[in-house]
Amino acid sequence: MRILLVDDDIELADMLGSYLERESCLVQKVSDGTSAVVQALSGQFDLMVLDVMMPGLSGVEVLRRVREHSMLPVLMLTARGDDTDRVLGLELGADDYVPKPCTPRELLARIRAILRRTGNQPQPAHETDVLREGPLTMWPGERRAQWGEQTLELTSTEYSLLELLVRHAGQPVGKDVLSKQALGRPLARFDRSVDVHMSSIRQKLSRVAPGRICIQTVVRRGYQFIKA
């Protein structure tokens, strides 16, 4: 696992970096936003761990610039209880977040959860099939999706959520199931991550299918992809 670790707290970055390296990760540490953008777009990393609060170019602005050119998986480090930065990061395309202070073990678990969805691990046979639902086609083995001839630019988490809904098209899927299977963690109380990601997916679908409602909210039951 090639990890880009972006945090201006040198002591914390050294501690997290040392732990990740002991767990067989290759870690590049960066302490400023400008360098983070350059490194993130270099194509050398599997995932970026990005602190929100940095002087100069903030983590949110780094994420915004990276998402203009790349779908590199991004795990945000946010201040505990700071819902504004957390939601903004998810809306801009972060795959997940970890509140600070966090333990290295928790950080590694979240990294592995994201990379399980994006890595080069052998896929079960059913996950290499082509999924089709109306104009939507998904290639789980390649983690690629198209609406008609138009490519959907989805983050790794958005792809996992949409794939899960399409596999159960016409049936509601609970938020707890979506969180466990797509985010790799149980749904926490007051956690809006699934809702924010789903809002982003809907916006992207609406751009390629104007006027068409593809994902429906089912009150107290979750979300469902509407069968064509």
Which pLDDT score is estimated for 77? Answer: 94
CB atoms within 10 A of CB 201: 22
119-167: per-residue pLDDT in tens? 644 444 444 579 999 999 999 988 899 999 999 999 999 999 999 999 9
Quote the mean pLDDT of the chain: 91
Q: Is the peptide bond before 101 cis (omega within 30 degrees of 0)?
A: yes
The DSSP bridge pattern shows strands 26-30 and 74-79 to be unpaired
Give whole-number Cα distances, 12 to 6, 117, 215, 220, in Å: 11, 27, 41, 40
Place of tokens 């009150």: 219
**Chain centre to alpha carbon of residue 62:** 15
Give whole-number Cα distances, 227 to 21, 131, 133, 168, 171, in Å: 45, 13, 7, 9, 9
CB atoms within 10 A of CB 166: 21
207-223: per-residue pLDDT in tens? 999 989 999 999 989 99
Mean pLDDT on 87-110: 92
User: Sign (positive/negative) of CA torsion 50, 55, 61, 67?
Assistant: negative
Which pLDDT score is estimated for 128? Answer: 52
Contact 198, 183 (CB under 8 A): no
Q: Which two tokens stand for residue 207?
A: 């751009």
Which pLDDT score is estimated for 55? Answer: 85
127 vs 36: CA distance, rounded Å? 33
Domains of the chain with bracketed CATH: 2-118 (3.40.50.2300), 125-225 (1.10.10.10)
Which pLDDT score is estimated for 122? Answer: 42
DSSP code, position 185: S
Bigger pLDDT: 168 vs 81:
168
If we measure between CA atoms, which residue out of 116, 132, 193, 125 comes closest to residue 158?
193
Bigger pLDDT: 143 vs 3:
3
**Helix or strand (DSSP H, E) at 40:** helix 33-40
Residue 182 forms beta bridges with which residues? none
180-196: per-residue pLDDT in tens? 999 888 988 888 999 99
Specify which of 97-111, 113-127, 161-175 reaches the highest per-range mean pLDDT.
Answer: 161-175
Mean pLDDT on 1-12: 94
Q: Which two tokens stand for residue 60?
A: 């949110």
- Say if pTM beats, i.e. exceeds, 0.85: no
